Amino acid sequence: MGGVNGAYFAPAWLPGGHAQTIFAALRSRPEIAFRRQRVDTPDGDFVDFDWLDVDGPAGDATPLVVLFHGLEGSSSSHYALALMSELSTIGWRGVVPHFRGCSGEPNRLPRAYHSGDYAEVGWMLTTIRALAPFAPLFAVGVSLGGSALLNWLGREESRAASILTAAAAVSTPLDLSAAGIAIEIGLNRIYSRYFLHTLVPKAMAMAKRFPDLLDAAAIGRVVSMYTFDEAVTAPLHGFSGTNDYWARASSKRWLGGIAVPTLVLNARNDPFIPAASLPTRAEASRAVALEQPDHGGHAGFPHAAGRLDWLPRRLLKFFQGT
């Protein structure tokens, strides 16, 4: 799961007052001056890339980090701003390619994005590699973005190794069925409803433009992520239904094929991702480093009061060590 309108959620029941830490950090987000680039897709649509540029003698050889955001996230999500701020501090470049419909404008085609959108991730990374041919290239995926990235890494192992130096997936729902069930249990339903608050109006607008593909009445009956995926995600992206989507788009089964050095970071108290669904060492290739700390919530990983710099620093330490 991911962020909504630039916000991101950590459970209020995190120990040690971590929820207050996160909300304090959200109120003091770093200001990042992005340069937006619109790129046409091969199928006649567009995506927007938000670039963090840096000045320096390294030029095109300056390392570049690509961030794939979570559900309804964007370059203004707190984890994106925290990472870009840390990149700016060390003189690296960054870019946030927005999934379709997430950069502030509806996309042209009847297409959105989903947890198994590996072809889109592959095209984005190939495009970025062509724009920065000499830079060491790293990729981070958060939540849904991590799922799509891991799908690509495992499916395209040799091609991925020719493009990326290293990768990381943060708070990724590796088993979509387990995560889809968890988000509808108890207090987690608050988060589900919040995601649907923006997802449903977007889908309804798309249904009006493409009534032959989407059923507006079915979208009007959506009450959960399961029913949303049944009414919207599945028909838009070639799945027979939610169960088919969750089974085919889950990234856990692709971990064994990953050849790029990859950090997979999941907190064991993530409310959306049951600890029992996390991968074991035997389920991942030697290139994959599994980190499963007891605390951290969903894309939270707070450190000190009012700061969210533990996560970007952990990611950069991993990248610098590869």
Question: Which of 125, 121, 161 lies closest to 145, judged by CA?
Answer: 121
To the query of whether residue 143 is one of the catalytic residues in this protein, the response is: yes
Residue corresponding to tokens 């959108």: 117
For residue 158, what pLDDT is reported?
87
For residue 31, what pLDDT is reported?
83
Report yes or no on 312 lying in a domain.
yes
Average pLDDT value over all residues in the chain = 90
Domain of residue 132, CATH code: 3.40.50.1820
For residue 7, what pLDDT is reported?
34
Report yes or no on 188 lying in a domain.
no
Report yes or no on 6 lying in a domain.
no
For residue 301, what pLDDT is reported?
82
d(CA 61, CA 80): 22
To the query of whether residue 298 is one of the catalytic residues in this protein, the response is: yes
Report yes or no on 241 lying in a domain.
no
Residue corresponding to tokens 């108890």: 186
For residue 59, what pLDDT is reported?
57
To the query of whether residue 244 is one of the catalytic residues in this protein, the response is: no
Report yes or no on 226 lying in a domain.
no
**What pTM was computed for the model?**
0.91
d(CA 113, CA 143): 13
Domain count, the chain: 1
Q: Is the distance from CB of 140 to CB of 83 less than 8 angstroms? A: yes
Report yes or no on 218 lying in a domain.
no
> Can you read off the two tokens belonging to residue 313?
């620093």
Report yes or no on 228 lying in a domain.
no
Question: Which position among 76, 77, 143, 192 bears the catalytic label?
Answer: 143
Residues of the chain with pLDDT under 70: 1-29, 55-59, 303-307
- In this predicted model, what pLDDT tens digit does every residue of 5-43 receive, in sequence order? 333 444 333 333 344 444 444 455 678 999 999 999 999
CB-hemisphere CA count at 13 Å for 247?
A: 6
Question: Which position among 114, 270, 277, 309 bears the catalytic label?
Answer: 270
Report yes or no on 235 lying in a domain.
no
Q: Which domain holds residue 295?
A: 15-175+254-320
d(CA 34, CA 52): 5
For residue 57, what pLDDT is reported?
53
For residue 16, what pLDDT is reported?
35
